[in-house]
Amino acid sequence: MKTKKVVVVTGASAGLGRAIVREFAKQGANIGLIARGLEGLEGAKREVEACGGRALICPLDVANADAVDKAADEIEATFGPIDVWVNNAMNSVFSPISEMKPEEYKRVTEVTYLGQVYGALAALKRMRPRNRGSIIFVGSALAYRGIPLQSAYCGSKHAIQGFYDSLRAELLHEKSGIHTCMVQLPAMNTTQFGFVRSKLPKKPKPMGTIYEPEVAARAIVYASESDHRELYVGWPTVEAIVGNKIAPSIGDWELARSGYKGQMTNEPEDPTRPDNLWEPLPGDHGAHGPFTSQSWSFSPQFWLSKNKAPITAFALALVAGVLWGK
């Protein structure tokens, strides 16, 4: 009889995915690790095993639907039925729209949007006959509010939000026992800022208040165990989403003013630096980026949401809308 939770994490080799793996590993879970970077996957596997769980490395590109489906078969053959599937893999390009290429939009969309769709399809194929399981979609404040210089990523996150709404309605229609949640995240100190393609003159950085990836990872584990439809993590996420619903034009003007400088450090970018758009970068890079000294390791807003403080959370949302409109 199976006694350990079986979890699948896409984008598991580095950044947020690596932090998610560590949080589930603390529970002793058996984890299917999906990503392209083999060295990072091997590092994640060692961390899972150090916590008493087992891990299966599945080196693949989530843009390949057949590969994702075959990995799900392999994971279930090794560990048993999948309990939780976390759709986390992403890719991006920092660039003005005028400098973007069609193939770059296609690639980011295939990984960041379709990768989550393919993961959901693989999970649903196996969870529907059992009428149980949890599928987590990793979203962003940018699923609601697009910002300059990240049009491909913002478009992909918006697409995930639309797919998620459709899926929720269909599962409710079916009276399904499968749980889903989309976790909307703020800017985080992850490896992506040194990984993704950038056409900016200076090195990219997270915009606004930055959080350590463990904050989001804990929220994702919580989402997999709770009955929430959607979770916002971090005050900036609430401000961006609620503010955009109330006064989107003001958001346009504010981001036109601050959105370029706010996404760049003062260090010149190396135009020859390798990126992971088409191939993974070698090495085991862990979970964190270079912004630890500027990052929060705790979210009071999420603590309020988790601990059932709906009135306070609603008040915060109203304040967010007011501040956005100033």
Cα separation of 268 and 198, whole Å?
A: 12
Between CA 50 and CA 28 the distance in angstroms is 9
Catalytic residue among 153, 164, 222, 232: 153
- Neighbour count for residue 39 (Cβ, 10 Å): 15
Are 88 and 9 in contact by the 8 Å Cβ rule? The answer is: yes
Tokens, residue 151 = 């049009």
Residue 250 burial by CB count (10 A; 0-12/13-18/19+): exposed, middle or buried? Answer: middle
Residue 164 CA: distances (Å) to CA of 68, 131, 154, 174 = 19, 18, 15, 15
Beta strands of 205-253 (E only): which ranges? 210-211, 230-232
Helix (H) / strand (E) containing 268: strand 264-268
3-state secondary structure of 36: coil
What is the signed CA dihedral for 212, 218, 224, 229, rounded to 10 degrees? -60
Q: Is 144 a catalytic residue?
A: no
**99 exposed, middle or buried (CB, 10 Å; 0-12, 13-18, 19+)?**
exposed
Q: Are 95 and 147 in contact (CB under 8 A)?
A: no
Question: Which residues carry out catalysis?
Answer: 153
